[in-house]
Structure 1
Amino acid sequence: MSGEKLSARQKMIGMMYLVLTALLALQVSSSVLDKFVLINRSLEKSIHKQESENTTRIRHIKTAVEETGNRPKDVEVLDKALAIRKETDKVITYINKLKDDLIDLTGGKDPQTGRPKGVKDDSGVAQLMCNANKAEELKNLLNGYMRYLTKTMGKEYKEIALDAKDSDLFKNDPNQHNKCFATLNFEKTPLGAVLATLSQFGTDVIYAESDALEILAGKLGADDVKFDKIFPLIKPQSNIVAAGSKYDAELLLAASSSVFEPEMSIDNKSIPVDSGIGKISFVTTPGKYDQNGLARKTFKAAIKLKVPGGDSTFVKEVEYFVAKPVIQVQSAAVSALYLNAGNELNIQVPALGIAYQPKFTAEGAAVIQGQGKGLVTLIPNAPEVKLNVYNNGSLLDTITFKVRTIPKPDIQITAGGKVINERQGVPAPGPRRLEIRALADESFKVFLPKDARYRVAEWEVTLARGSRPIQTKKVTTQEVSLSDFASLAQPGDRIVIEVKKVERLNYKDEIETVNVGTVVHNIPIN
């Protein structure tokens, strides 16, 4: 039929009909036909019982319509139910008339048993059903009824009077698949089997009517929203309360309907609904903060109930406030960043807790995202850096940093582990060995130790007498031997040291050349 749920009795009747149809197709002997008389009686009882139930259901629909004031939508339901009953009566009456005509044509009924006399007669059946074209009339009536239900109810009710090629039972049977409805059901078919067949068509019709009436009964009061789920709802002023302060909330009674599943949205975007309760979840965005660090925001909440009598939509503008997040910047050098250095920062927003999932962009600096949450390294390339802090795609704030250049290292010269005093000089013939170091600015070294690693890569050492050089050495190591200078040095000479190249190992362990300008040291020999 139409895919509706069947009762146990309906399933039993359907199985009986399948057995009946299969036996007919096999052209069984007349000894089986007595059984079909019993099947027919069972089917007729089922039809009568269901007719009574359908009549009761229509009566209940009528009573409900009157009790609710004959509202137009409800009256329309009743009119449909009465029209369906009228069409059903036409079909059932026609089937009953066919059975009576067939019984009369084949000898009538036994006055004592009420049993048809011509149970085995198939010629009378063929005469009326095939020759007189009653089978075709029946087919058109049955299928027309199902099409009528489909159009009236807006639900498919499948045709039941089928040719063999359209029947799942016979379409693959080489002996049956070419037979038309009349031949398949009534040709060479004894009366006993035909009566059961006609009764089965009656049950199909009466149960289709039952399904339609059940649907119509469910549409009564469709304009009424009945709330059958009632529960308490707490509306607190805040879910977070400090110890010692008051917890303020409103307690109210809420209700929802299990019949109508509402559609809900915020700002015209649908939200999921579970058991009549909408789930609102979105990421807040910053706004114009007041002196208290709060930005006023609103969203439009809408609940739409779709009912047959017309949609109803309830709309409310909801106000909320977004607190400006307090961003904590943890770093040894927060006030300013160093140019072309790896400034490591730890950006945290405690108020967001586990919801804090930051991303960073910057103007005036390259950005390297760290391994931990909130860790970021900035490599400034401009006098000012603007760091943008995002959380889940929303901009929290922009932090501005000034940028200072890396201070030049100090050049330190030692002999025998002691720093040489250039004013006092050294006694003749001068030191046997010199060491040179490039020392980072102390504060810079504390802030960014990975960027404060220096070495003197190239330097020259000259033994000079007056304005004339005596001997010069080019050095690429941190130490140099001056034993040969000692054999030539005289009091009044001087050792001239000129720094040619200084290098720095940065945070990426890459070597950079440092511009220290002209660095010359003069050490007098006394």
Structure 2
Amino acid sequence: MALPKEPRQKMINLMYLVLMAMLALNVSAEILNAFKTVNESITNSNNAITQKNNLVYQQFEKQLSIDPERVRPIKEKADQVKILCEQMNLYIDSLKKVIIRESGGLNDSGEIKDMSNLDAPSRVMENQGQGPILEKKIETLRQQLLSMYDNPVEREEVAQILPLKIEMPKKTIDNKKTWTQVNFEMVPTIAAITILSKIQNDVKNSEAQVIDDLFKKIGQQEFVFDTYKPLISANAGYVIAGQKYEAQIMLGAYSSTINPTITVNGQPIPVQNGVGTFSTVASGVGLHTYNVAISLKDQSGQIKTYTATAEYMVGAPAVSVSADKMNVLYIGVDNPISVAVAGVPAEKVSATISGPGSLIKSGPGKYIARVSAVGTVTVNVSAEFDGQVRPMGSMEFRTKRIPDPVAEVAGSKGGTLSAAVFKVQKGVAAVLENFDFDAKFVVTSFTIGFDGAGFSDYIEASSNSAYFTEEIERYIQRCRPGTRVFIDNIHARGPDGTTRLLPPISFKLN
């Protein structure tokens, strides 16, 4: 069953084709922004398809638990499709990162710095040979997906509509251009990223089509029921003391229009439409078992009884609170924190912070902690059980200032430095070493002195920013091998708003 194209997906495809045509005429800011918009739309579409595909894979798991022998061969094919498509998407993601890095990387907002860069895509895809590799991978993946169809006729029909394919416009064939040249030669970086996102869209749509067809084959096979077996479906196999345990019990391969008699540990339970519901309030830490008996009349009128044993584990509340970066919280930056309570769904868990700080939820079981003073804070965790919120525990964290950065010029913290390299530098940088957070310090002032070759006396100048002033630039132009440079009184302001005095650095030019 092919994945239906919704109007949104059709619009994305149309915009993609129009923009590719306009790209040949002009690369304006409007076109670059349009490519950015299309790329975001394709990315959103890819996420939606991924969610849909994940639901199908979950259904494979469910069907496997019902009839392992019949479903397993089909599910193994679906698992192979998932692995192949994930590998392709990871490879394309790596190409995106390389192209973005070659074009200058991302800015502080996480956006591409130079969307109009024409050299990076050509360099990566043509000069470095990644384009032909990608083309080969697409062809290989297409054949691997088609191999999932055992029937040659069905395989040929799918081949005609499978989105993932290598297509060449007729005019490019006449001009003898390669697929790589058609798609990536002298195109802006944002256009190359959009093209790669479109290929990922084809991969995900093709994945959806193949796994949908495979799942449909499960329903095409005939079910043969030749045994009776009690089936027990519980809301949880592990519950916390005070939490409600509930299980649904039914007789497999039996009509839901006839109610059997079901007992648990000898006590009858309510039965409706062939399904009995057993519930009890969990108590006592440890493993608990219960015996189920299902009785009904067979076709001859005789009562037959089928038995089974089920178990569940009761555990004491266990709270897990961890800082995703390290075992401290730092002032002035976002500190990711993960919160969990064993046996409780993430959406039923909540957390607050006590002390100088705040806690903002960023996802299921995920929070961002921001603290404002050195000392300690406490993260308190609660969980909801049957509509009631109960405290589960807490954990204390130390709060610290961000470590002092070090001053650098040309990526060096001192020592010998080429005079030619030094002359093209624009200022002094403050760099955090061995720190897991993306925290930035900005140099606000410094003093620089010159001595030795090119200077008859020691000369000193100051700057009230991270950059060399015009006066300092004039002194730098006098530098040559043998000049000694001293930089001290270096002040830098961090994300926590405080200003630090950094250790001095010095260089001997060669």
TM class by shorter-chain length? 0.3 to 0.5
Q: TM-score, with normalisation over the residues of structure 2?
A: 0.40
Rg (Cα) greater in structure:
1
